[in-house]
Amino acid sequence: MNTPLEIPSRRPFDMDTVRRDFPILARPLPNGAALAYLDNGATAQKPQAVIDKVREVYETCNANVHRGIHQLGDRVTVELEAAREKVRRFINAEDSAEIIFTSGTTMSINLVAQAWGRKFLKPGDEILLNEMEHHANLVPWQQTAKATGAKLRYLPLTTDGQLDATHFDRLITSRTKLVAVTGMSNVLGTTNPIRELAARAHQVGAVILVDGAQSVPHLPTDVRDPQIDFLAFSGHKLFGPTGIGVLYGRRQFLEAMDPFLCGGNMINEVHLESSTWGELPSKFEAGTIPIAEAIGLGAAIDYVQSLGFDAIHTQETKLLARAMRLLPQTPGVTIYGPSLERRGSIVSFTVEKVHPHDLADLLDQKGVAIRAGHHCTMPLHDWLDVPATARASFAFYNTEAEVDALIEAIHYARHKFRLE
């Protein structure tokens, strides 16, 4: 049953007010530099409302859920199920029972690989992936393919890092049983054609899983339009706590799957020789889930909805456009991925003769926080023919001045390497 909840009221987007909502943004770094946090693709900062909510749980109703017959247990259970309903509404799932709390995107995908893939895939079946996927959406399917005899197939990429749609009909066939794809590349920023992929997958009777770790925090998500069978995302990239994630699954698939983890809470009856499973979502929530974190995720969703994705998209597009205009004007810089129209708020780049790790260290001296490395996408970096990239990933609380600080810090790094 879906619990009715009050929809957060929309407020005007005012950058000064938004920045004040995130206390860490006003704190100087240990070296005294002002923070320009451009590593939101790794984890996003948390608004005070989320911090306060997690603290409130521990201070006022700390107890286990669905267990204690006492006031604290009743209250925290109500809070948890309200958070589940917020997630349901946020992604427009049909029923809150289709919302499974996990530890994050990685666990959510592994749950599907183990509980759906190992049960329903067989030799000769095909799993369709692509080279831009995060390791969390590659390695579980490699292991599942080995265990079941299924075969991995890969959609090729265009030269600018998009899925090559001309190969959809050739590679999505009656042998395809699963299409696993990221909603937004964590390196290239590419936003993928989920609607087209879902329609094509369903035409041949295949299931589609979407890794929404990067897309869900920045773009509206509706799992019923287009019809998505599985969606995985993490709370900490959605301005919520770490240690909490979501697996959405269509009821018909979740009910057909076997449990991934077994123990307390996920059972109906246990006998010495056999057990039966609880109803959804308990069936996939063995043990004590991250309770305060799940409730904090609900607060994060409230916060995002109070701003609205229109305002979020407008601000992040402005930042991305500025970065994509200024970075190529900086000597020695090469950026990777598609044009602004097919990209989310992520830009990865290299600086000639400066290793990304050295670049990130020098930028940090100026207070600019970015990510450097292969970003858990080794096959993609092999395709790009570079061992590593630097990545700036933006959120709505970033400013154009912070984009300028990124450019100035790159010049500083080039000067340190005597390149200018």
Q: Which residues are catalytic?
A: 376
**Contacts for 32 with CB less than 8 Å, ≥ 6 apart:** none
Is 246 in contact with 101 (CB distance < 8 Å)? yes
Peptide bond into 47 cis (omega under 30): no
Residue 29 CA: distances (Å) to CA of 184, 365, 369: 30, 9, 11
Residues of 106-134 as b/e, b for ≥16 C-beta within 10 angstroms? bbbbbbbbbbbbbebbeeebbbbbbbbbb
3-class secondary-structure state, position 99: strand
Phi-psi region of 28 (alpha: psi -120 to 50; beta: other; left: phi over 0): beta
Rg of the chain, C-alpha, whole Å: 22
Measured distance CA(420)–CA(413) in Å, rounded: 9
Is 24 in contact with 356 (CB distance < 8 Å)? no
Measured distance CA(303)–CA(68) in Å, rounded: 30
**Helix ranges, 115-242 (H):** 118-120, 139-148, 168-171, 194-203
**Helix ranges, 244-308 (H):** 251-256, 291-307
Token output for 2: 């879906």
For 102, the enclosing helix (H) or strand (E) is: strand 99-102
Is 402 in contact with 38 (CB distance < 8 Å)? yes
**Contacts for 54 with CB less than 8 Å, ≥ 6 apart:** 241, 292, 293, 295, 296, 299
Which of 336, 413, 316 has the alpha carbon at shortest distance from 405? Answer: 413
Measured distance CA(275)–CA(267) in Å, rounded: 7
**Helix ranges, 348-399 (H):** 356-365, 378-384
In the DSSP assignment, the letter for residue 113 is I
Fill in the amino acid letter for 69.
I
